[in-house]
Amino acid sequence: MNISIQPTIKNLKRFSAFTLLSISTLILNSCSKDPAPTPEVAFLSITNTSPTTATFNIYMDQSVINTGGAVPYNGTTGYFQTSPGTHSVKFTTASSSASIITKDVALEANTVNSLFLIDKGANMDFFKVKDNLGSMSSTKAFVRFINLSPDAPALDLAVKEGSVLIENKAYKANSEFIEVEAKAYILEFRNKATGATLGDPLSSIELKAGKSYTVISTGLIAPGDAERGFGGKIITNQ
């Protein structure tokens, strides 16, 4: 298996360039008796949202992904390039090579994907979504919301003291990317049933034109010892 770890934006620009190159190759090969096969790739990012104080090492097919150190709570690898197909993904603690969780993850050719480590203990699992990113040439910004808080109710993503952007996402439910005006926002989570704000608002962020962002709710409404309380994170996808 070939894995190439690069900064997120550079990787996705490379993915766009790869797509154009593939089209050019197909045109050239149409005039050839023996066309060369076009290589296929997939992109994946992995984020630790397990609501504990543990940090993790991440392996794909026995290769270490997090070469910059153990991944903390709400930490992410950014996108890396790999081959399409089924891969074995393993999490270990920072101090051991013993598996905490190991599962197969299927990646389709020429797709961009995000994988999240969710929940804790016997309920620890993976949650994978395909990233249908917005256009980098758009004058709008793009936002999606994923509820990854195991004991939270259905949530709305809203602008502080403003309107709801994305509504009614239960645990392990995600929206697609939606267009929003490119400007500064303070975002918050609201209980869908009551309208009450849950947790503190997220830090102000400038959502830039042509960029895609994933907002995740994480942590526990009722955390125990060595567990993370409810909150959230904004991930810049591109």
Alpha-carbon gap, residue 59 to 103, rounded angstroms: 11
Alpha-carbon gap, residue 141 to 213, rounded angstroms: 8
pLDDT tops 80 at residue 58: yes
pLDDT value for 11: 52
pLDDT value for 17: 45
Same fold yes or no, 1-131 and 134-238: yes
Instruction: Report domain extents, the chain.
Output: 1-131, 134-238
pLDDT tops 90 at residue 4: no
pTM to 2 decimals? Answer: 0.87
Query: Residue 128: CA atoms inside 13 Å, Cβ hemisphere, count?
Result: 16
Q: Which one, of 106, 164, 122, 136, lies nearest residue 15 by Cα?
A: 136
Residue 9 gets which letter from DSSP?
H
Query: Is it true that domain 134-238 has CATH number 1.20.1080?
Result: no
- Residues 178-184 have a mean pLDDT of 98
> 1-131 adopts what CATH topology?
Immunoglobulin-like (2.60.40)
| pLDDT band at residue 144 using 50, 70 and 90 as cut-offs | very high
Residue type for 135, please? S
pLDDT tops 70 at residue 180: yes
Question: For residue 17, what are the contacts with CB-CB under 8 A and spacing of at least 6?
Answer: none
Q: Across all residues in the chain, what is the average pLDDT?
A: 90
